[in-house]
Amino acid sequence: MKPPRSWERLLAVLAPDAERDALLGDVAEEFLARLERDGPRAARRWYRRQVIRSTAPLLRERLDAAVRRTTNTRPERERMRMWAKDFSIAMRSLLRRPGFSATIVLTLSLGVGATTALFGVFQAVFLEPLDLPGAGELVVVMETGSFGCCGPASAPDYQDWLARNRSFDGMGMLSPSMVNLTGLEQAERVYATRMTANAFPMLGVEPLLGRVLLPEDQTAGDAIVVSHSLWTRLFDSRPDALGEALEVNGTPRTVVGVMPAGFDVPSPWGVTLQHSLFMPFLDETIEEAVRGNHSYPVIARLADGVDVEAAQADMDRVMRELESEYPETNQDRGARVFTAHEVRYGDVGRQFAILLAAAALVLLIACGNVASLQLARAAGREAELSLRNALGASRGAIIRLLVSESLILSVASCAGGVAVAWFATERLKALLPPTVPRVDQVSVDGVVLLFALGATAITALILGVLPAVFSSRTDLAMGVKEGGYSTLAPGKERLRDLFIVGQIAMGLVLANGAGLLVQSYAAVRGQEHGFDPDGALTLALRASGPEYEVDGAVETFFDDVMRE
């Protein structure tokens, strides 16, 4: 198991170039030691704390190095002193107008915070890769037909794919389902999957304890591998759990292995569920399967140098061969190759991308509002800026002063935005439905903080640089004479109008989108169900075990349930 990717990337960005490799290596070595001693959660928590504690010293070291590089000559030292003086003047100017400054900081903090929080969800749910070695090479192969796209494969088709493909280093067949664990103090219903033994080597993850499923297990069928969470819950993380028996659907099975924390098979079904048990696919089941019975998803790993497009072309060839050989069952059937990440997280990722784009539009509207405030304030500062110009301040000096004010406001807004993002992230985790995958992994990590810094840089550009350039075009005679007008010059008026038009345009886009969303929601809510849903509950009940394999046993059980 590797250190958390986002925090490792943040540490790599902060570390000095000369010390980066050594620093990352030392921290990774300590992480592995703590992982073995304290477990994955404690190790990740330690790594996160180390990066946070190192942020300030590393930033200070980088800043000191930058100052040393830029102050080697007298002109550079003079430039640094001028910036320091401008920042001091800008701070005093902003403090003299606390209402104006607080309005800008609050507006931008809400915009940056909301956008950052949604990016945090988008990053955890969609951008993070699968927690498997070479996750980018894992694909899911589904079948197409007259029903559209896409569905599972049949066992005979899978065997032909395995024998005829030229694009995959490995291929495995799955059969996910809910199963009953009995023989415990209280029966449990957990998510499990049958799988061919060749799937484990293809995924490239070694068990924490014991072994994975082997080809001979597909003959006996009594071995099972358990997940780390199930091992922790049922066996109290005991190493001697290997060899113990679990009753799965009433049939005793022997625990032969425990997988490490975070491991899961990338099934295209039940993306919000974690497999607790991994059971062997019986050879007898595969041999007796009917080609027309399409029930099993297939996962595969791309061979070196093969991309998804090449694999798709290869599977098109295989399906054409099967269609000519088995026209009764494979007529008009094809195959589609998707990355495992796309199958599991693509749909929800696109939904959050739309929400993130909407939040970005809100942030841009906030920036436009603030920029308009800046331009309006510039009209009231015409005399001040003209006086500075008359006393010898160049246009560059005036721009530098105005940019300094904007940078101070942006930095304060970034701090406020991060605080808003922390709060909003926790609220989103509580509000998001359980159908959203990996929601428990949502956090304000290093990547999210970098996103907040990037959003702040954009806001600084919009609300600072452009208004500063236009505001610096002072009319000396008009500005210093008594009774000078506090109106915007034509160029500034055009910029202000541009901001206003942009705000209206983006606001209309958001309003139209919100209206369509409300209309769609109302249409869904207004659909007739064919029954009265008030007070109605649904549940899933399954009778399993040897006692229900007798003819009529299942029907008798449900009849008894309904009578009671």
Q: Are 129 and 447 in contact (CB under 8 A)?
A: no
pLDDT given at position 210: 93
pLDDT given at position 484: 45
| Whole-Å CA distances, 53 to 47, 423, 453 | 10, 21, 18
The four Cα atoms 172, 307, 275, 536 give a dihedral, to 10 degrees, of: -110
pLDDT given at position 476: 46
pLDDT given at position 469: 59
pLDDT given at position 67: 57
Rounded CA-CA distance 409/271 in Å is: 43
Q: Beta 223-226 vs 138-145: how paired, if at all? A: unpaired
pLDDT given at position 200: 92
Rounded CA-CA distance 21/13 in Å is: 11
Rounded CA-CA distance 252/231 in Å is: 17
Instruction: Fill in the DSSP letter of residue 4.
Output: P
Task: Let me know the angle formed at the C-alpha of 382 by 379 and 383, rounded to the nearest 5 degrees.
Answer: 140
Q: pLDDT tens, position by position, for the chain (564 residues)? A: 677 777 787 788 778 777 788 888 888 888 888 877 777 777 877 888 888 778 777 777 776 666 565 555 556 566 667 777 777 877 887 788 888 888 888 888 888 888 888 888 888 888 888 888 888 899 999 998 877 778 899 999 999 999 999 999 999 999 999 888 887 777 788 999 999 999 999 998 999 999 999 999 998 888 999 999 999 999 888 988 899 989 888 889 999 999 998 888 988 887 778 899 999 998 888 888 888 888 899 999 999 989 999 999 999 999 999 999 998 888 888 999 999 888 888 878 888 888 888 888 777 777 777 777 766 666 666 666 666 666 666 666 667 777 777 788 888 888 888 888 889 888 888 888 777 778 777 888 778 888 888 887 777 766 666 555 555 555 544 444 544 444 445 555 565 566 566 656 666 666 666 666 666 656 655 566 666 777 777 777 766 666 676 777 777 877 777 776
- Phi-psi category of 143—alpha, beta or left, where left has phi over 0 and alpha has psi -120 to 50? beta
Global pTM reads 0.67
Rounded CA-CA distance 111/359 in Å is: 8
pLDDT given at position 559: 79
The contacts of residue 152 (CB under 8 Å, 6+ apart) are 142, 143, 294, 295, 296, 297, 298
- One-letter amino acid at 451 equals F
Q: Are 379 and 487 in contact (CB under 8 A)?
A: yes
Tell me: cis bond preceding 150? Omega within 30 of 0 counts: yes
For residue 255, give the H/E element and its range.
Answer: strand 251-258
Q: Are 279 and 272 in contact (CB under 8 A)?
A: no
The contacts of residue 290 (CB under 8 Å, 6+ apart) are 154, 156
For residue 178, give the H/E element and its range.
Answer: strand 168-182
Rounded CA-CA distance 161/171 in Å is: 9
Tokens of 198: 């060749």
Q: Are 323 and 330 in contact (CB under 8 A)?
A: yes
- Phi-psi category of 363—alpha, beta or left, where left has phi over 0 and alpha has psi -120 to 50? alpha
